[in-house]
Structures are given as C-alpha cells and as structure tokens.
Amino acid sequence: MSVKELCRSGCFSHPNFCKWRSRFGGMEPSDAAKLRELEAENNKLKKLLAEAHLDIHALMSVFSAKRESVKEMVEEQQLSERRACSVVGLSRDSYRDPPQPDQLTRDLGSVLLIFHTYAACSATNAFMICCAQSFLG
C-alpha cells in the first residue's frame, strides 16, 4: 500500500503524514503509548501551573485591594496604620513592603506560550503515525 493510499484510507493529508513521520519516525507502538502518557501528564501539569498562576494574580489583587483600603483608612479616617491593618487583616510588613515579582514570575507568560507551542501535536496524531508505520513496515 502506498503512502497516498494510506493517507486516503486514514482520512488525513500527505503533508500531515510527512510531519508525523518526521516526528515519530523511529518509534515503536509502546514508545507512542509512553509518549501519550507523558503528554497527558504534561497537560495536567500545565493546568496546575495555569491554576497556580491564576491564584497568584487573585491573591495579588486581594492584597492590593487591602493595601488600598488601609491607605484610605489612614488618610481619610485618620486611623493609625496599625489599627487599619488589623481591621483589614493585613500585616504591617505586607502593607509597607508590597511583593515585587521576580524575573521568573514576569516570564511565566512566555513560558506558558512555549509549552502551548510545543504541545501542538496530540497523542491521537502519534497513534495514527504508529498505525501508519505498521502498515508500511
């Protein structure tokens, strides 16, 4: 069976087959299964990372709202800084020294973009390549 006939019977294009073959050319079906498991684990880790990133942003917005509340209490209602922080539930150190994001935190968005770029090929495509190799092989 030729490659074009295989592509026609599998309902995928010849260029896709060439991309899959270049990526998964020397793999055995067991390797493809391992790859599928690794991709699934990678997707879970990406979701956890994204959730953690959202949690960080949520906490930062809450803390910034608390800081603004303390600032308003001190300036408008003439409360002491200690009393305003106690009312809001923010430590005085946190009020005085807001957290500064480090370089890793700032680059988190670009890291997520890189993960999403390299995870474009799904496990289904890897499985189709292994099936195609078994037909050709």
- In percent, how much of the chain has pLDDT > 70? 71
**pLDDT band at 106, cuts 50/70/90?**
low
* Segments forming the whole domain that contains residue 48: 3-136
Whether 95 shows a pLDDT value over 80: the answer reads yes
> For residues 43 and 12, what is the distance between their CA atoms, to the nearest angstrom?
25
- If residue 3 lies in a helix (H) or strand (E), which one and from where to where? helix 3-10
CA distances from 29 to 21, 96, 121, 133 (A): 13, 58, 16, 9
* Total tally of structural domains belonging to the chain: 1
**pLDDT band at 137, cuts 50/70/90?**
very low
pLDDT at site 40: 92
Structural tokens at position 105: 């935190």
